[in-house]
Amino acid sequence: MSETLTRFALRAWVALVLLFLFIPIVVIFLYAFNSSKIEAWPIEGFSMRWINVTLSDAEVVSAIRLSVEVALVTTLLALILGSCAAFAIHRTTFFGRDAINFLLVLPLALPGIITGVALHAFFDYSGILLSVATIVVGHTTFCIVVVYNNVLARLRRTQGSLIEAAMDLGANGFQTFKDITLPLLSTAIIAGAMLAFALSFDEIIVTTFTAGAQNTLPIWIFAQIRNGQRLPEVNVVVSLVILVTIIPVLIAARLTGGGGASRVPAAK
């Protein structure tokens, strides 16, 4: 095959894959504005009808509120624990360092159902009733790693000489941290927080096993699709979830130059 033909074929392939990736997402947004009650293609007409219905559905609103609350608390916990781990691992070599790396990635690499069932068994055995708190515990466990990855990557790229210079010039530990270390890390920390929020907001499997009677937004969506109820509202809610998960990720990608938001650990 000649070179130009290969290039052409590759280009066509890339175009097809992009269509494959994006058609479903476009379809969802179109259906959110569907005026009909039925999910049939082509869409009969566009209206704000279902958007209004959905936003005044008390069940949806309370599910949104719960999901936001859980994601916020999870993000805060993941920020503290993930940053601690990154600072500890950075610039120290000790026995078991790789093991800790592996341990932190594990909840994201193992099927969610394992983490979910394990936590369920743990709470069941310890007599802890499933509640909002147990959902947060589950979410935090797999969100720590995204903060950790981002902060660690930035720490590795930060020059130690800047910190040494600050201290040589008479800054104390706190001043150095506040004026040098933190500003250097801030975008990585924000990126980590954005990703943790998005990851938590959309999570369903671990949530299913760690929630009691609480309905987070993904649990509400799953139940509606499964029972075939309020599907026009599902269209709207699902579009909303896409926006809420994608916007923080775009911000994170901007702040870290793309690499930080790869979710899959792609580069060391």
Partner 1 sequence: MTVEVARRPRRKGGGAVAIRSLFWRLPWLRTTVLLAPPLAWFVVIYIASLVLLLITAFWAIDPFTTKMIQAWNLDNFRQILNEPTYLRIIGRTVFMAALVTVTDAAIAFPFAYYMARIASRRVQTILFAAVLLPLWASYLARVWAWILILNHSGVLNWSLQAFGAPPANVAYTDVAVWIVFSYIWLPFMIIPTYAALERVPESLVEAASDLGARRWRTLRDIVLPLALPGVVAGSIFTFSLTLGDYITPVLIGGGTSFIGNVVYSNIGIANNVPFAAALAMVPIGIMAIYLIGAKRLGAFEAL
Residue 184 vs 231, nearer CB to partner 1: 231
Contacting partner 1 within 46-75 (CB under 8 A): none
Of the candidates 36, 131, 132, 263, which one interacts with partner 1 according to CB under 8 A? 263
Contacting partner 1 within 102-141 (CB under 8 A): 103-104, 106-107, 109-115, 117-122, 124-125, 137, 140-141
Beta bridge partners of 34: 46
Cite the DSSP H helix spans in the chain: 3-32, 49-55, 58-89, 97-109, 112-126, 132-157, 160-168, 173-176, 182-202, 205-210, 217-227, 231-256
Told to check if 35 binds partner 1 by CB under 8 A, we report no
Contacting partner 1 within 180-239 (CB under 8 A): 198, 202, 204-205, 208-209, 218, 221-222, 225-226, 234-235, 238-239
Of the candidates 85, 152, 189, 211, which one interacts with partner 1 according to CB under 8 A? 85
**On the CB side of 90, how many CA atoms lie within 13 Å of its CA?**
19
Q: Tell me which DSSP letter residue 179 carries.
A: I
Contacting partner 1 within 145-164 (CB under 8 A): 148
Binding part of the chain for partner 1, among 64-72, 150-158, 185-193, 249-257 by CB under 8 A, reads 249-257
**On the CB side of 112, how many CA atoms lie within 13 Å of its CA?**
15
Binding part of the chain for partner 1, among 24-32, 48-56, 61-69, 152-160 by CB under 8 A, reads 24-32
Whether a cis peptide bond, with omega within 30° of 0, leads into 42 is yes
Q: Cβ atoms within 10 A of the Cβ of 80, count?
A: 13
